[in-house]
Amino acid sequence: MLCAVDELGIGDEHEGIIELNADAPVGKSFAIYGGYDDPVIEINLTPNRPDCTGVYGIARDLAAAGVGKLKALDTTPVKGSGPSQIKVKLEFRAGDKSCPHFVGRLIRNIKNGPSPNGCSNVFALSDFVQSPP
């Protein structure tokens, strides 16, 4: 079978075609054949719940819904290579427990570039919009 990338839902390109291997099963789902059949969790958020946007927040909500078990956070300190160039000062009233754990890390010398094909394909299938580097 010959299909364009956009017809298979794995990208926006519609020029040219993809030729599947001769052993590709006819009449079967391309998602299974192509390895794109991962479970999908749709998340709807309201602006007042930024705690739900992180991996741990999502895991916590899934566990609360009975999907999996929430593992405790590993809060073992990771030693840095020098003093932080970013100064942070947290001030709370006595007894305020609104921020029980705060961490930060400055990471430098990271090269921003295109995502590997596997990541790009997952983003394309999830309607996630990638920003160019």
Banded pLDDT at 70 (limits 50, 70, 90): very high
Q: How many CB atoms lie within 10 A of CB 55?
A: 7
Torsion-angle region of 88 (φ positive above 0: left; ψ -120 to 50: alpha; else: beta): beta
Quote the pLDDT of residue 64.
93
Give me 83's structure tokens: 């003093």
Q: Give the Cα-Cα-Cα angle 56, 58, 62 (nearest 5 degrees).
A: 115
124 compared with 73, residue with greater pLDDT: 73
Instruction: Report percent pLDDT > 70 for the chain.
Output: 80
Give me 44's structure tokens: 């709807």
Q: Give the Cα-Cα-Cα angle 54, 56, 57 (nearest 5 degrees).
A: 65
Q: Enter the pTM of the model.
A: 0.43
Beta bridge partners of 81: none
